[in-house]
Amino acid sequence: MSTSDRAADLPQDLTDGLGVERATPLGGGDTASAFLETAQGSLFVKTMADPPAGMMAAEVAGLHALREHAPQFLGVPEVLRWTEDGIVLEWIEEAPGRRPPGTEEECGRGLAALHRAQGGAFGGLDPELPGRIGSFAVDLSPTQDWAAFLLDRRIRPLLRDAVESGRIDPRAADLLEELAPRAQELAGPPEPPTLVHGDLWAGNRLVDAAGRNWLIDPSAYWGHREVDIAMMLLFGGFGEECLAAYDAEHPLAPGWQDRVPWYQLPPLLVHAVRFGGGYGDAAVRALRRLRG
């Protein structure tokens, strides 16, 4: 199949008027992406066949919120157009080799600045949009109780899905109920609602050829900043200098390291349901670690 044929396969309402000269596929699966060479320059397109209602709109809202609140030196791609089936973004040319000095520190400082953006309640960015973690439906209606939000709207439902799908030892539910009375303690000292990326693993951070950090593919909402910190630590890819710079700019509350397993439970459970493997066992280990 030629690249021109692949361009023809893209949703017409996404590409009309862009003058697409060539489309190079970059990924497949549930979500497909492509590099576009167009009359307007290089662009990136992300599409999904039959996406859940509101999924693309939620991602666009997250990108707009991050662009609004991120400092200038922390990039967020501009949304050029979008539909319910896809999004067209500016193209980010990644660094070809070793990242320039200072990149990690700048990432930490940028994230600290982003996390100073505060909302009036924990929950979604737009009450008209459905709540999602990726393709998972979640309750993002506004609340002032972060600890209950995390336990009852994230951890419990995801654990139930993991048990029902056979992806985790059913005894994990008993472990969680042992911990539930400590939900306030496990969530940490009260903090105001903070704009979080919501899915900040290393693959959703790019560094361009000039050494500028970029955040992509958010599941953004008003949450607790330790959500992003725990995700950064789950799969690696962020240097010690990044977290040190973050803590110097916006110090984390004492004991944050002990809370990391609690905040890592939602992504571990999402991965357990989606992929199986060792993610369910990792979630059980996190629960046992928290139980002591």
Name the residues annotated as catalytic.
199
At residue 83, φ and ψ (nearest 5 deg) are: -135, -175
DSSP letter string, 122-135: BB-S-TTSPPEETT
What letter represents residue 76's amino acid? V
The length of the chain in residues reads: 292
Q: How far apart are the C-alpha atoms of 138 and 134, rounded to whole Å?
A: 10
Q: How far apart are the C-alpha atoms of 292 and 290, rounded to whole Å?
A: 5
Cα 240–chain centre separation: 20
* List of E strands, the chain: 20-27, 31-38, 41-48, 74-75, 79-83, 86-90, 132-133, 136-137, 194-196, 205-207, 213-215, 221-223
